[in-house]
């Protein structure tokens, strides 16, 4: 069956302020791969996701905490020891899924919508990659290069992602 989308809340067209709750369930990940995979990421053969997110925009500033669940991931054949999935080693994800079946991560995407440096897709993918690495116990150093390729251009940009993330990523540059 196809995925489902529910959106509830409000939006004000003139100010562009909004408060929306978004819920996606059972969405096929395979056709969405070009939007979130990097050049070294393993291709998916199968997988779905569920997503809940509370998106608030006030004064052109977004704050969107949410939860993502990855379900039934199967990777296409490839060189497993070199491949990642959104910057996280593929083998770490597979090992976790063998015993747990689904992988859930919490995330918060924040940023100024009126800034040309803020790109929602990159910010969300980065936050999910970091949360995924932390949940799986993968040192942030191992995904640092992937995060840099996904748009993090140095310590100053990292600070905007939050103090905890910034501190962890600065370890990459030591």
- 3-state SS of 94-151? HHHHHHHCEEEEEEEEEEECCCCCCCHHHHHHHHHHHHHHHHHCCCHHHHHHHHHHCC
Range with the poorest average pLDDT among 101-105, 133-137, 148-152: 148-152
pTM comes to 0.68
Mean pLDDT, all residues of the chain: 76
Task: Using alpha carbons, select from 8, 6, 9, 42 the residue that is nearest to residue 26.
Answer: 6
Query: 3-state DSSP call for residue 2?
Result: coil
Distance between alpha carbon 20 and the CA centroid of its chain, in Å? 19
* 42 DSSP assignment: P
Average pLDDT of the residues in 73-87: 76
pLDDT higher than threshold 50 for residue 156: no
Chain length of the chain: 174
Tokens 């489902």 locate to 4
Q: Which of 16-25, 70-79, 102-111, 118-127 comes out lowest in average pLDDT? A: 118-127
């Amino acid at each position: 069956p196809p995925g489902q989308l529910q959106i509830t809340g409000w939006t004000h067209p003139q100010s562009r302020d909004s408060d929306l709750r978004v819920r996606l369930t059972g969405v096929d990940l395979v056709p969405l791969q070009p939007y979130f995979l990097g050049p070294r990421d393993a291709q998916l053969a199968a997988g779905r996701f569920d997503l809940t997110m509370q998106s608030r925009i006030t004064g052109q500033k977004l704050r969107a905490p949410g939860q993502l669940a990855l379900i039934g991931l199967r990777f296409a054949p490839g060189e497993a020891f070199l491949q990642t999935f959104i910057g996280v080693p593929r083998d770490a994800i597979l090992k976790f899924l063998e015993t747990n079946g689904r992988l859930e991560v919490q995330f918060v995407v924040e940023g100024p919508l009126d800034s040309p440096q803020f790109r929602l897709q990159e910010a969300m993918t980065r936050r999910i990659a970091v949360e995924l690495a932390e949940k799986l116990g993968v040192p942030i150093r191992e995904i640092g290069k992937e995060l840099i390729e996904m748009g993090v251009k140095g310590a100053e940009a990292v600070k905007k992602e939050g103090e905890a993330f910034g501190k962890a990523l600065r370890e990459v540059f030591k």
